[in-house]
Structure 1
């Protein structure tokens, strides 16, 4: 039997040492006019109490004519001694919504004024500004309608309600199958108050009260605890998503050359050796003690197999041989009992049994995408 996996686990031998960091990539505060009773001070204090590492408030730029620097960023409450706070906004355009992300302040007005430009002009502008372009909620009434070749990452898990996200995951799979390597992330897209104070919940619905910071939570494996490293890891796909911060984090590794040492992790791309590849799935931290989780493996958009973790190790291995002459990707989805989220209890019902999912491990992909 594989020995039990502790709550904190170094990466397998051969990997550059890094650190796992958790946060939320999509939140609205009072500077979005469709946000109710959600000041920055309340959002940040909530994330700090839960031990989050990073956060970004992404208000709708259209609500302030693109001037997020004079509103969201200039708000004196946008500060923290515990969180790494990114600078960003939700580009709210006729062709859909995009989270623009940056470690430091940037000229958001430029991207807002160009929101209806052709995609190749937006690509040049993105590259010139050095910003991260993250496609928001592909399956949504305000779906993402720009080219996915613009996207550095994509939001496949938006809010706690899992059935709404399943189609976004399928859209992401379509892009992966086409040869694009697009890192996936989550984002709560929370607009309202928190459930521990019913007066702050608008509207008074299960979905309104079951969605807040960390529903879902995105885990990033970064080389260091700084904002530039986090965005680099997000673009690489060195990330996984959990329905809430108390659920286990899924880690996904592979032994490409069969030497018994894991030498790839999610986000990595390599040429296959021609022989069998051993894959390892680990569920680290959190979760329900002793619970068995179902691991569904997706290969090139199609189900490959389903496996059950045991309650002790919370890990498993499987083997496959990726072809030498074709692109192949593998990713995993974890189903099982939801860990209670006492601060946002209604999120458990919305997430159903979807606990977590990983980014892919790639073979024979073009690194330009």
Structure 2
């Protein structure tokens, strides 16, 4: 059965595109990802991007192991991710389609392998109270989560902690809302649809969490159920939706200490995250110079006590060669617009100054709108984004909630 979410996709895409065709990516014979250390890396200093590495990926996508998706093998999804320069991928099939046994379905599939991509372990926790994605660098016991889906939140929290998971609320608004406590989650999927207006409810929920002192990371996820159209695919709905929603619509960027699955999840947990409309769209990065000595000492995800005086902020837009027109950068403080700025592609950086109130909680984040970036592999995605290009996670002051 097609959900209301996907009926909306089909209606919007039929308006924007009549058909979409393409070739299936080639087969792969790469070895599985080698095991990596389970230790959580420390956060890199922010004075230079040389101290960390930006990695881009998709944190929510479905393969043939989800019975409500088209019959796309994991190899086809991974191949598209590789071809567009992704660094990591989380194939998150519905756990209720296999009775919670994802370890012997999605994870056991021999096609879940790549030399180019870091492949996270995940599955969509699919319940009557909402959907969520756990993320792990190593296999974990997802069956425990599935069996506890109707229990108390306290029991679920115990399992999440014992399994060492990053737990993330999926598309929290709408029919498949997230109905559990947000104190369970490390991140929220605020950008779930290439149709930007569909994300308004999720953005409001995230804003409520921020305003209440919960520094929960915002992330994206395509939630694509359709793979890339190719020989043997069912014509019609699958091809239409694949033209607008696929790997990287949107793309979630993490500033990690290393190119490892553990470092991706650590950066996600700690809010070192930016979201762009697709892999070719610019990435926005927000910094702060708390002591105004000319060196940026905070970035997205960082939390500090306000100095009691003005703080300098810098916004960088990375990868702006795709556009010829100016971008509009909106700075948001504590849920309200602090200022709106015009940024030229030829000068993709701007500065502003503001004073976080001493003794009070405050946060700053940015959104970027402008000319959509072309994404030839998913051609209709740029037609639906309403010019939304990128958004940052916040820089925090006086947020004391431990993760």
- Structure 1 length-normalised TM: 0.94
Contact kept, 8 Å, 1:57 with 1:89, in 2: the verdict is: yes
Q: State whether structure 2 residue 379 is matched by structure 1 residue 345.
A: yes
Query: Conserved in 1, the CA contact under 8 Å of 2:190 and 2:219?
Result: yes
Task: Tell whether 2:282 aligns with 1:255.
Answer: no
CA distance in 2, matches of 1:237, 1:287: 26
1:66 corresponds to 2:100: yes
Contact 1:267-1:360 within 8 A present in 2 as well: yes
Would the alpha carbon gap of residues 207 and 139 (structure 1) be closer, same or farther in structure 2, given more than 3 Å must change? farther
Aligned CA RMSD, in angstroms, stands at 1.8
Where does the alignment leave 5 or more consecutive residues of structure 2 unmatched?
A: 1-43
Are 2:271 and 1:241 aligned?
A: no
Partners of 2:364 and 2:159 in 1: CA distance: 33
Q: Deviations over 1:107-152 (max 9, x none)?
A: 1111100011111111111111111111000112100111110001
Q: Does residue 26 of structure 2 align to residue 26 of structure 1? A: no
Structure 1: unaligned runs, 5 residues or longer: 1-9
Q: 2:226 aligned with 1:186, yes or no?
A: no
- Deviation (angstroms), 1:194: 2.3
Question: C-alpha deviations, 1:248-303, integer Å up to 9, x for none?
Answer: 01111001111111100000000011111111110101553443110011111111
Would you say the 8 A contact 1:287–1:338 is kept in 2?
Answer: no
Please point out which of 204, 210, 214 is paired with 1:176.
210
Match of 2:9?
Answer: none
- Contact 1:270–1:364, Cα closer than 8 Å, also in 2: yes
1:217-228 to 2 correspondences below 5 Å:
217-228=251-262
Instruction: Tell whether 2:123 aligns with 1:123.
Output: no
Q: Whole-Å Cα distance in 1 between the matches of residues 47 and 391 of structure 2?
A: 23
> Following the alignment from structure 1 to structure 2, what is the Cα–Cα distance between the partners of residues 196 and 281?
40
Partner of 1:144: 178
In structure 2, the CA distance between the partners of 1:72 and 1:199, relative to structure 1 (3 Å rule), is closer
> How many correspondences in the alignment?
360
Deviations 1:289-345 (A, max 9, x none): 443110011111111110111232211111100001110001000000001100001
**SS at 2:315 equivalent:** strand
Distance, in Å, in 1 between the alignment partners of 2:210 and 2:182 is: 10
Could you tell me which residue of structure 2 aligns to residue 96 of structure 1? Answer: 130
Answering whether residue 374 of structure 2 is matched by residue 316 of structure 1, we say no
**Residues 131-182 of structure 1: CA distance to partner in whole angstroms, max 9, x if unpaired?**
1111000112100111110001110000211100122111101100000010
Equivalence for 2:84: 50
SS in 2 for 1:78: coil
1:41 alignment partner, one of 58, 68, 75? 75
TM-score when scaled to structure 2?
0.86
Indicate the residue corresponding to 1:163 in structure 2. 197
CA contact (8 A) 1:14 1:263 kept: no
Superposition deviation, residue 196 in structure 1: 6.8
Instruction: Provide runs of 4+ in structure 1 moved above 3 Å.
Output: 195-202, 204-208
Contact 2:75/2:112, CA 8 A, preserved across alignment: yes
Residue of structure 2 in register with 1:332 after alignment: 366
